[in-house]
Structure 1
Amino acid sequence: MNSWPHAPPHWNHEPGIYFVTASTYRREFYFHGKDRLDLLQFHLLTVLQASGWRLDAWAIFPNHYHLVLRSHSESVRLSRVLGKIHMLTAREINRLDSTPGKKRWHNYRDSRLTFERSYLARLRYVMHNPVHHGYATHPTLYRWCSGSWFSQTASPAFLKTVESFPIDRLKLEDDE
């Protein structure tokens, strides 16, 4: 008898561009507050960079995060990288809460983006997610998102292109 898989398959071993959403266990708000969001953002940015991944967009919340990122042939496999980030952040949150060994992360979903329109729509989706969830009135005003960085570093033409993509028809699972 074959067992049914309990998690989505992750086909993220090929170089390319990926959209990732990761959720905390039971969607609990384990990363509430400035210091905890800073901790998660620090580990996401540093571990991904050290593993050969380039972040194009990110949005981090108390119970989930979204990423648009890209790899090359030498990048560490995404499942290993996210596993390391989740292990490091869970260990630190458990230390802060005096709850050693408590499960903090549930799983993640990833999609390989192979069409430019899909990539551009997800860039906009991720950067506008803080507004969608009510954390900010504009993407550049939320500290744990790439909106401000993107508006300062992207060319005006590329920024205009990304901002023109509709996101209301995207069928994405969001965790809040």
Structure 2
Amino acid sequence: MITAGTLHKRPLFTGDTRLSLLEDTLLGVFREHGWQPQAWAVFPNHYHCVALAPAGDGGLPLRDAVRCVHSLSARELNRLDSAPGRRVWFQYWDTRLTYEKSYYARINYTQNNPVKHGLVACAEQYAHCSAA
């Protein structure tokens, strides 16, 4: 599971265009490099993603995939906002899920995060998560 936050938790990915930018970049980079997203939710100041690692020795290491997501999304966001060179991302945290119970708990947490934040009544109503 990966959780990443913007610098100073600033809500930089506001509005549907910017949220879609982050979601599309996250899913596109991960899939392109062999990762299989199982659950995700993106918000103006952070995101969560549970993904299966590439099989065998294939694919990009997680740190490189996250670095690519952050680089591409920051450059495009800064272009949209006319803010070249602005630092967007602070850091990310990852947890390797080794137990089935932990895996399902993190899937549930990720998919229900829009409800936890009070954005929607049920996760299926939030367009920028895997539950939609």
Return the TM-score normalized by structure 2. 0.96
C-alpha separation in 2, matches of 1:75 and 1:118:
24
1:59 aligns to what SS in structure 2? strand
User: Between Structure 1 and Structure 2, how many residues are aligned?
Assistant: 130
Residue 71 of structure 2 is matched in structure 1 by 87
Alignment equivalent of 1:112, drawn from 85, 96, 99: 96
AA aligned opposite 1:122: R
CA distance in 1 between partners of 2:92 and 2:100 (Å)? 23
- Describe how 1:52-63 pairs up with structure 2 within 5 A: 52-63=34-45
Q: CA shift at 1:101, angstroms?
A: 0.6
Query: Between Structure 1 and Structure 2, whose CA radius of gyration is higher?
Result: 1
Higher relative contact order, chain-length normalized (CA < 8 Å, sep 6+): 2
* Equivalent residue for 2:13, pick from 31, 36, 60: 31
1:86 partner SS: helix
- Mapped partners of 1:129, 1:99: distance in 2: 29
- Measure the CA separation in 1 of the matches of 2:21 and 2:80: 11
Distance in 1 (CA, whole Å) between partners of 2:59 and 2:78 is 29
Within the alignment, does 1:135 sit opposite 2:98 as a pair? no
Aligned positions of 1:64-79 closer than 5 A: 64-71=46-53, 72-73=55-56, 74-79=58-63
1:78-128 deviation line (CA, Å, top 9, x unaligned): 111110110111101111111111100011000000000000111100010
Q: Which runs of 4+ in 1 moved over 4 A?
A: none
Rounded Cα–Cα distance in structure 1 between residues aligned with 2:41 and 2:85: 26
Q: Which runs of 5+ in 1 are unaligned?
A: 1-18, 149-176
